[in-house]
């Protein structure tokens, strides 16, 4: 049987992990589509319902990219909000457009029994054994945690480098190493290399730099293209940027009930899939002397709209400014830059005044 050509929608840097997993665990070829661009988003938006959230459109566009690049098997993840229903509607739209492909919609397999996910993966590789899956799965999660940790470090320091693009070059080399990793050894080697390389980059950072915490909707917060590379823009102004939301923090190292305890002054229940994490992070930034918080989401993201009144209360209690930004297929780079510059000026002047 010929190898399947598998693809997954573009989502931040995580496609590198999925590539590793598909190649090492499922004995299939992984089709890594080109990076997301305005063209991807426009192609997705053209065939999507008008008022659906922006990640739906981006994902649809990137599935079309994958099909054009030769993929014959598409995978869609399950999810708690609208995301859990993306797959079915994506499939319907793509089939109505006439595309041919195998579609593995993990929402169909989320029955509460992990065994059922194994069934889904066996559609790609019928000989897949649970033991092999577990080993490669663990390696993939290692890679994922390394990517998230490295990215977090990157945005904390890249705004203070002495030589232009030092950080960016190192980060790109690390990503390339992850893209070509074939084994756990490759992953660990690249990780120790980047740790070392980051720490030897000369930086000039004040003792008390401006610090901004980014919170917000999962996809838009994590995916650089979807937030117009907001973190880079802020960091380049000379700011330390922190973001709690990542697959590592929200899924691998997540304990919702314990985070809930820290925010019980603000809410009694889990308000949505990422609400607990975001409210916790916002309160954490506010109580740790950060200079500002930026809340980002795709337009009309129900769970994130609903935590805004909570963020307003945190903002009032801790006297910390919060910038609220919504992204959709119409967002312009210039408009965003103007708002970020104004926000930066405001927090800088506030800090100087203190």
Out of 177, 197, 299, 336, name the contact with other proteins by CB under 8 A: 299
Nearer to other proteins, 50 or 100 (CB): 50
Interaction of residue 192 with other proteins, rule CB under 8 A = no
Is residue 266 part of the contact set for other proteins (CB under 8 A)?
A: yes
With binding defined as CB under 8 A, does residue 111 bind other proteins? yes
Reference 3, options 33, 35, 28, 38; nearest CA is 28
103's enclosing H/E stretch is strand 102-105
Q: How far apart are the first and last CA of the chain?
A: 68
Does position 292 interact with other proteins (CB under 8 A)? The reply is no
> Please, what is the minimum distance in Å from the beta carbon of residue 309 to other proteins?
4
Q: With respect to other proteins, which residue has the nearer C-beta, 92 or 129?
A: 92
Taking the C-alpha atoms of residue 239 and residue 344, their distance in angstroms, rounded to an integer, is 9
Any long-range contacts for 77-85 (C-beta under 8 Å, 24+ apart)? 77/8, 77/106, 78/106, 78/107, 78/109, 78/110, 79/107, 79/273, 80/272, 80/273, 81/272, 81/273, 81/301, 81/302, 81/303, 82/52, 82/53, 82/56, 82/302, 83/55, 83/219, 84/110
331 is a contact residue toward other proteins (CB under 8 A):
no
Of 1, 96, 98, 126, the one binding other proteins by CB under 8 A: 96
Per rule CB under 8 A, is residue 24 in the interface with other proteins?
no
Query: How big is the site for other proteins, counted in residues (CB under 8 A)?
Result: 43
Task: Based on the shown chain and the rule CB under 8 A, indicate whether residue 87 belongs to the binding site for other proteins.
Answer: yes
Phi, psi of 264 (to 5 degrees): -70, -15
| Contact region with other proteins (CB under 8 A), list: 177-185, 203-211, 266-274, 344-352 | 266-274
> Closest by alpha carbon to 311, among 341, 335, 277?
277
Nearer to other proteins, 213 or 272 (CB): 272
Minimum distance from residue 102 beta carbon to other proteins (Å): 16
For other proteins, give the closer residue by CB, 179 or 270: 270
Structure tokens at 110: 């989320």
Decide if residue 55 touches other proteins (CB under 8 A).
no
Q: Can residue 89 be called a binding residue for other proteins (CB under 8 A)?
A: yes
- 73 is a contact residue toward other proteins (CB under 8 A): no
How would you label 221-239 residue by residue, b for 16+ Cβ within 10 Å and e otherwise? bbbebbbbebbbbbbebeb
Task: Write out the two tokens for 246.
Answer: 């990542």
We find the least distance from the C-beta atom of residue 50 to other proteins, in angstroms, to be: 8
What is the chain's alpha carbon radius of gyration, rounded to the nearest angstrom?
21
Q: Which is nearer to other proteins, 145 or 301 (CB)?
A: 301
Footprint on this chain of other proteins (rule: CB under 8 A): 49-53, 56, 80-82, 84-85, 87-89, 92, 96, 105, 107-108, 111-112, 266-273, 275, 299-300, 302-303, 305-310, 312-313, 326
């Amino acid at each position: 049987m010929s190898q399947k050509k598998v693809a997954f929608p573009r989502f931040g840097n995580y496609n590198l992990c999925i590539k590793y997993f598909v190649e090492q665990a499922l004995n299939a070829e992984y089709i890594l589509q080109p990076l997301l661009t305005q063209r991807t988003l426009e192609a997705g938006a053209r065939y999507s319902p008008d008022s659906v959230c922006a990640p739906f459109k981006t994902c649809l566009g990137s599935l079309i990219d994958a099909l054009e690049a030769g993929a014959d098997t598409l995978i869609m993840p399950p999810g708690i909000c609208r995301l859990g229903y993306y797959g079915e509607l994506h499939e319907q739209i793509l089939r109505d457009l006439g595309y041919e492909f195998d579609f593995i919609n993990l929402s169909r397999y989320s029955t509460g029994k992990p065994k059922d996910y194994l069934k889904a993966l066996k559609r790609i590789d019928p000989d897949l054994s649970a033991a092999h899956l577990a080993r490669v799965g663990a390696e993939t999660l290692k890679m994922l945690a390394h990517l998230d940790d490295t990215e977090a470090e990157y945005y904390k320091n890249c705004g203070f480098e002495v030589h232009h693009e030092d950080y960016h070059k190192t980060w790109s080399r690390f990503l390339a190493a992850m893209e070509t990793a074939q084994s756990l050894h490759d992953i660990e080697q690249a990780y120790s290399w980047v740790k070392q390389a980051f720490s030897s980059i000369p930086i000039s950072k004040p003792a008390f730099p401006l610090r901004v915490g980014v919170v917000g909707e999962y996809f838009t917060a994590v995916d650089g293209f979807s937030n117009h590379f907001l973190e880079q823009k802020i960091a380049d102004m000379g700011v330390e940027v922190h973001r709690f939301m990542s697959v590592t923090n929200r899924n691998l190292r997540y304990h919702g009930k314990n985070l809930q305890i820290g925010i019980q002054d603000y809410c009694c229940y889990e308000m949505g899939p990422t609400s607990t994490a975001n409210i916790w992070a916002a309160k954490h930034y506010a109580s740790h002397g950060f200079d500002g918080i930026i809340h980002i989401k795709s337009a009309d993201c129900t769970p994130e709209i609903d935590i805004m009144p909570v963020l307003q209360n945190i903002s009032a209690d801790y006297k910390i400014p919060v910038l609220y930004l919504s992204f959709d297929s119409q967002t312009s780079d210039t408009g965003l830059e103007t708002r970020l510059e104004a926000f930066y000026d405001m927090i800088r002047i506030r800090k100087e005044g203190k």
